[in-house]
Chains A and B, each alone.
Chain A
C-alpha cells in the first residue's frame, strides 16, 4: 500500500493467564482514520500500549515511517511522533488544566517556565475543542468529559505523525463528539494517521476510513469502511449473530406501584437547585441532559456522596437521613458512579474483593463473608456479566477498561438494592455487553421490582429503556417526558431550552 506511516507486524504479548495479543498485524496510512474494534478485553488497548512502550511485547516489529522502532515509554514514543490519549485519563487532578496540557514540555523563557504562553496557548487549544473554560483552575474541578477533552487537547498539540485515541468519546456527549471530530478531520487533512478506538459503531462509520477487528487477542479482519455493514461488523466482533440484541422491550409499568424514592427540592446552592425526583418500584427513570447539567450531582446527592444543603429525601415513604454513602446503602440504595477510576475501582484489589466490597461495607468488617461466599458471589457476577478475567484473583486494575466497568456494576448489583442509580453504566463496554446490561436493567425492574435511575449521554439508549425521562439543564430540572411516546427531538428541544417539558408526572 502507498503512504504507509505505521506498520506493526506479528505482535505478541502474554500476560499471566491470557495471551493478550497473538500475532497481530496492523497498518496505518497517512491521512486516514483507522478504527480499532473489538469486545472488552479483545486487546485493543494492549496493542496501543505495545506501540507506545507501556508494555514490552514478546515478539513482533514496529515500523514507523519505514524505520524500525522500539519505544520504551510513552514519552519516547511521543518524541518519535506518536501521540496518545489513553483510555484511562492520565492527568494530575491537582494541577491546573493548562499545567496538565503542558506538563513535561513546558516552554521556557529566561530559565523560567513561561506561564503566559502556557495559559494563552491552553485557552486557544480548549477553544479549538469548543470548550470555553478557565484553564487556570485545577483539573479536578471539572467533569470527566472536560478532563477527557483536556487529555485530547494535550495529545493534539504536539507535532505528531500518528495520533492514537483510545475511547476518547466514552464520556462525551453529541456536541463534544462533533467538536472532536472536526479537530480529527483537520488533523487528517494535515496528513496525520489516526487510530481510533471506540465502542460506538455510529461514530466509527461517521469518521473512519478503515476498520480492524480484534477478538481474544487475534486479528479477525481488516475492512474498508464501505465494504462492511454494521451488523456484519458486530458479528465479526463478538463472533456470533446478534440480531436479537437490538429489540429490547421496555419494562411494563405497573400503574399501582408505590413511590420508593421521593426527593423534594434537594440542592446545593450554586451547583444544582430545587431538584425533585420521584421513583416508583419497578420503574426505570432516565436522566437526560448535557454534561454538567447536574445529572451526576443529583445522583451524588441522592446517594450521600455529597450532602444536599436543602430539601428532603424519603425512601419507601419515610424520611431518610443520608449523610454518607453507607447510610444510602443501608437504605438499600446503590450507585454505580460515572468516573470509574476515581470513584469506582480499587485497582490493586482482586476482582473478587472489588465485587464483594460494598456488600461487606454494609455488613461491617466484624461480620466478614466467608471465603466461599465471596467466591460464589464473584463467580456468579463474572458469569452473569461475562467479565473477561482468567480468575477471581486477578487485580481489577489489570482488566480491560470495559471489564472494570462490569466489575463495578457487579459490586452494586450484589448489594441487592431497592433503588439503583446508574451513572453512565454502559460507558466503555462493548455492543454485546451494552445490550446485556440494558436487558439486565429491565429485568431487575420487572422481576425484582427495583426502581432504577439511569443516567446516560446516549439518548437512544435512554429512550429505549426508560418509562419516564427527566431532562436537566444548567443545574435544574428542565422538563419531564413519558418514555414510551417521545422522540429524540422532543428531548433535544427541551435540552436546548426551546420548549418547556411535557407533562409533569
Chain B
C-alpha cells in the first residue's frame, strides 16, 4: 500500500514541478547567500525579501493562469489574455484621468465613484472573454484563431481608449492595488483570494469535472447531458475577467497604463505555467495547485537569470531551455522509464533480501 503511494507521487507531474522549483531556489541560494532572508519593514508594515518578491511578481501570471488551466483543460488556448490586461489598465487609467484638462493633477481622479474604476475594466474584460467564448462555442472556431482576434485587436482598443496617451496616476487608493499591502504585498493577497475562490469554484462544485469531461470527450459529454457550449462560455468569461484583474495589478504597479507593453507575452507565460503544472495541452485533467507551482517556477527562473547578471533579453531563451527540461521530465516515456527503474530496483532489493 505505501509502496503504491510512493509510486503515485513519483509519477505525479506536480511532484516534479515542485522538485524543479526547489532546485532553482537552491541555485539562487548558492548564488546569493541572503536569498532566503526575510526582513520586516516597519514603514510599510510588510515582510520583504527575494522570496516575497518572487511570489509578488508572479501574481499576474498566476491569476490569469487560473483561467488558462481551464481553457487548456478544454483543449483550447487563450492568446488574448495579455492584450486584455492592457485593455483593463487603459480603461482604468482613462477613468481615473477622464478630464485631464480640468484635473491636471495625477493625484486626483475624475470618474466617481471609485468602484467604477475597478468594475468597468473587469466587466469589459469579461465581455471580451464572452466574445472569445462565442466564437469558439457557437461558431466552432479554433481557440487559437478565435483568441488571436482580440490578441491583436486588444492593444488597438487599449490605444484608442486612451487616445494613444500614456496616463499616469498618483491616486493613492488605486496605487494600493499593486503597491500596497498588509503583512505581505497586496498582489499576493489578491492572488491568494483568487486562487482560493477558483479552487473552491472548480472543486466544491462539479464545474471542474464538467470542464474536464468536455475537454476529454465533447461528444460523450453532450450525450451525457452537459451543455458544453455553456461550459466553454463560462470558462472564457472567467479567463477574461481574471485577465482584467491582472491588468489592474499591473497598471497599478506602474501607476500608469501602457498599451504596448502591459501583459506582453503573458499569455505564453501563463500557458507555460499551466503546462509545467502538469496539465496536458491536449486537454483533460487540470490541476490548479500545479499551475500555481508552474507560475512560481517561471518567476523564479526570471529571478535566477537576473542574479546571474545575464542580459534580460536572453531571459526568454533561458526560460525556454529550462522549461523544455521540465516538460521532458514530465513526459510519458521518461516517467515510465523512471517507474521502470524504480520497479527494477525494488526487485533487486527484494532479491537481495531473499538471498
| A interface residues with partner B (beta carbon < 8 Å) | 16, 303, 305, 324-326, 328-329, 335, 337, 342-349, 353, 357-358, 360-362, 365-366, 368-369, 411
Can you list 14 pairs linking A and B with CB atoms under 8 Å apart?
A: A16-B4, A305-B222, A324-B227, A325-B225, A328-B225, A343-B219, A346-B216, A357-B213, A361-B210, A362-B225, A365-B206, A365-B210, A366-B205, A369-B206
Tell whether B212 is near chain A: CB-to-CB under 8 Å: yes
Using A348-B284, A365-B210 as known contacts, say yes or no to A343 and B225 having CB atoms under 8 A apart.
no
Complex CA–CA separation, A305 to B223 (angstroms): 6
Q: Which residues of A contact B224 (CB under 8 A)?
A: 325, 346, 357-358, 361, 411
Tell whether B331 is near chain A: CB-to-CB under 8 Å: no
A-B contact sample (11 more), CB < 8 A, given A362-B225, A365-B207: A324-B222, A326-B225, A326-B226, A343-B220, A344-B220, A345-B220, A346-B216, A348-B216, A353-B213, A357-B224, A361-B226
Within 8 Å by CB of B223, from A343, A348, A360, A365, lies: A343
B225→A361 contact, CB < 8 A: yes
Within 8 Å by CB of B205, from A305, A358, A365, lies: A365
Q: Which residues of A contact B285 (CB under 8 A)?
A: 348
> Smallest CB-CB separation from B229: which chain A residue?
A324
Tell whether B302 is near chain A: CB-to-CB under 8 Å: no
Report the minimum CB–CB distance from B221 to chain A (whole Å). 7
A349→B205 contact, CB < 8 A: no
Report the minimum CB–CB distance from A355 to chain B (whole Å). 11
Tell whether B209 is near chain A: CB-to-CB under 8 Å: yes
Within 8 Å by CB of B209, from A305, A347, A349, lies: A349
Q: Which residues of B contact A305 (CB under 8 A)?
A: 222-223
Q: Which residues of A contact B222 (CB under 8 A)?
A: 305, 324-325
Tell whether B2 is near chain A: CB-to-CB under 8 Å: no
> Smallest CB-CB separation from A368: which chain B residue?
B206
Q: Which residues of B contact A347 (CB under 8 A)?
A: 216-217
Q: Which residues of A contact B7 (CB under 8 A)?
A: 16
Report the minimum CB–CB distance from A279 to chain B (whole Å). 20
Report the minimum CB–CB distance from B197 to chain A (whole Å). 15
Dominant SS at the B interface?
helix
> Smallest CB-CB separation from A330: which chain B residue?
B225
Complex CA–CA separation, A326 to B222 (angstroms): 8
Within 8 Å by CB of A360, from B204, B206, B212, B284, lies: B206
A329→B220 contact, CB < 8 A: no
Report the minimum CB–CB distance from A276 to chain B (whole Å). 24
Complex CA–CA separation, A205 to B250 (angstroms): 73
Complex CA–CA separation, A83 to B7 (angstroms): 34
Complex CA–CA separation, A361 to B207 (angstroms): 10
Using A326-B226, A343-B223, A357-B224 as known contacts, say yes or no to A348 and B212 having CB atoms under 8 A apart.
yes
> Smallest CB-CB separation from B280: which chain A residue?
A348
Report the minimum CB–CB distance from A59 to chain B (whole Å). 11
- Most interface-central of A342, A345, A349 (chain B CB within 10 A): A349
Report the minimum CB–CB distance from B210 to chain A (whole Å). 5
Within 8 Å by CB of A368, from B204, B212, B216, B217, lies: B204
A326→B216 contact, CB < 8 A: no
> Smallest CB-CB separation from B285: which chain A residue?
A348
Q: B2-44 vs A: 1/0 string, CB under 8 Å?
A: 0010010000000000000000000000000000000000000
A329→B223 contact, CB < 8 A: no
Complex CA–CA separation, A69 to B227 (angstroms): 49
Report the minimum CB–CB distance from A413 to chain B (whole Å). 13
Q: Which residues of A contact B220 (CB under 8 A)?
A: 342-346
A346→B221 contact, CB < 8 A: yes
For the complex of A and B, 4 pairs with smallest distance between CB atoms: A361-B225, A365-B206, A326-B225, A329-B225
Using A305-B223, A325-B223 as known contacts, say yes or no to A349 and B207 having CB atoms under 8 A apart.
no
Report the minimum CB–CB distance from A60 to chain B (whole Å). 16
Using A326-B226, A343-B223 as known contacts, say yes or no to A349 and B213 having CB atoms under 8 A apart.
yes
Q: Which residues of A contact B207 (CB under 8 A)?
A: 365
Complex CA–CA separation, A342 to B222 (angstroms): 11
| 8 A Cβ contacts from B201-246 to A | 204-207, 209-210, 212-213, 216-217, 219-227
Report the minimum CB–CB distance from A471 to chain B (whole Å). 26
Q: Which residues of A contact B213 (CB under 8 A)?
A: 346, 349, 353, 357
B227→A360 contact, CB < 8 A: no
Report the minimum CB–CB distance from B242 to chain A (whole Å). 19
A349→B225 contact, CB < 8 A: no
Q: Which residues of A contact B225 (CB under 8 A)?
A: 325-326, 328-329, 357-358, 361-362
Q: Which residues of B contact A343 (CB under 8 A)?
A: 219-220, 223
- Most interface-central of B4, B204, B220, B225 (chain A CB within 10 A): B225
